[in-house]
Amino acid sequence: MGETVHESGVGPVVDVVTRSRAKPLIASLIWVIPGAILFGGGIWMVAYELNRSLSGEGSIEGAIAVIGAVIIVVGWVLWSTIIRRWRASADERVYLRAGPGGVSVGHVGFPRILRLLTSYRILTSEFAWDQVKTWYPHVIRVNGIPTESTIEFVGNDGWQVSVNTLYFSGGRESIAQAVAAAMERSDLLPGGPPPAVAEDEEPEESDGCVSPDQA
């Protein structure tokens, strides 16, 4: 099956990388056990205090109940992150496309609070190459620890688009190479690539040109 050429506001573009279901899941495994412990532990603390109060063994200890509630929230934040990543890994609205005219990208935005953080917004951006000041693969670090891998696009007007590579197959360097290769795709230009000229081909004389032998 051949590649699909998509029409966009910056001309024809192609997917430079495919979505990955494995990477988001693997990256989230580190949060599974802590999230379960915090969420379950918080529920136990709140339920224990509530049971004490209902059984007449004593009143609810406000501090313990508050701590339990906070722990529940932290545990749910971890679990909701796993859920969002897993859902986004199969979302067709997440893509990174490029062509000689520019870039078209759909990437995961902020989580939706009203949906208990399990859903997310999709941000779409399209920009021509002449609007881009620079672009590069990047690693976000917190206290020296790498936390996120991105492709950064910085515009002439100061805007910036960060594409998280977590949802795509391959590393940031290989994705950057694929984007660079798409920039040079002359077959995506209107009318296709210019015809190649053979080395021994000589340009034809115009109708108004007279050779010295004919003078």
53: left (phi over 0), alpha (psi -120 to 50) or beta: alpha
User: 166-178, pLDDT tens digit by residue?
Assistant: 999 989 999 999 9
What pLDDT is attached to residue 110?
86
Domain identity same for 143 and 183: yes
Domain identity same for 9 and 102: yes
- Stronger pLDDT, 2 or 213, i.e. the higher one: 2
Domain membership of residue 208 (yes or no) is no
Own/partner contacts of 162-166, CB < 8 Å, gap of 24 or more, are: 162/107, 162/138, 163/96, 163/105, 163/107, 164/107, 164/108, 165/137, 166/23, 166/24, 166/27, 166/85
- Stronger pLDDT, 198 or 74, i.e. the higher one: 74
- The string of DSSP letters for 150-196 reads EEEEEETTS-EEEEEGGGBSS-HHHHHHHHHHHHT-GGGSTT-SPPP
Average pLDDT over residues 38-46: 90
pLDDT exceeds 70 at position 56: no
Domain count, the chain: 2
- The string of DSSP letters for 16-78 reads SS-B-SHHHHHHHHHHHHHHHHHHHHHHHHHHHHHHHHHTTS----HHHHHHHHHHHHHHHHH
Domain membership of residue 47 (yes or no) is yes
pLDDT exceeds 70 at position 79: yes
pLDDT exceeds 50 at position 113: yes
Q: If DSSP codes are grouped into helix, strand and coil, which group holds residue 128?
A: strand
What pLDDT is attached to residue 173?
94
Angle 5-9-14 (CA atoms, 0-180°, nearest 5)?
A: 25
User: 90-106, pLDDT tens digit by residue?
Assistant: 899 999 999 999 999 99
Domain membership of residue 193 (yes or no) is no
Domain identity same for 15 and 120: yes
pLDDT exceeds 80 at position 125: yes
Q: For 3-12, 110-119, 206-215, which range has the lowest pLDDT when averaged over its residues?
A: 206-215
Domain membership of residue 13 (yes or no) is yes
Q: Which domain holds residue 62?
A: 23-88
Angle 99-104-106 (CA atoms, 0-180°, nearest 5)?
A: 145
pLDDT exceeds 50 at position 206: no
Q: For 52-61, 74-83, 111-120, 180-189, which range has the lowest pLDDT when averaged over its residues?
A: 52-61
Question: What is d(CA 42, CA 40) in angstroms, rounded to the nearest whole number?
Answer: 5
Domain identity same for 14 and 99: yes
Tell me what the pLDDT averaged over the chain comes to: 84
What pLDDT is attached to residue 191?
62
Domain identity same for 47 and 153: no
- Residue 170's closest CA among 149, 155, 185? 149
What pLDDT is attached to residue 8?
93
- Residue 97's closest CA among 6, 193, 212, 188? 6
Domain identity same for 57 and 106: no
What pLDDT is attached to residue 61?
61
Domain identity same for 183 and 140: yes
pLDDT exceeds 50 at position 203: no
Per-residue pLDDT band at 192 (split at 50, 70, 90) = low
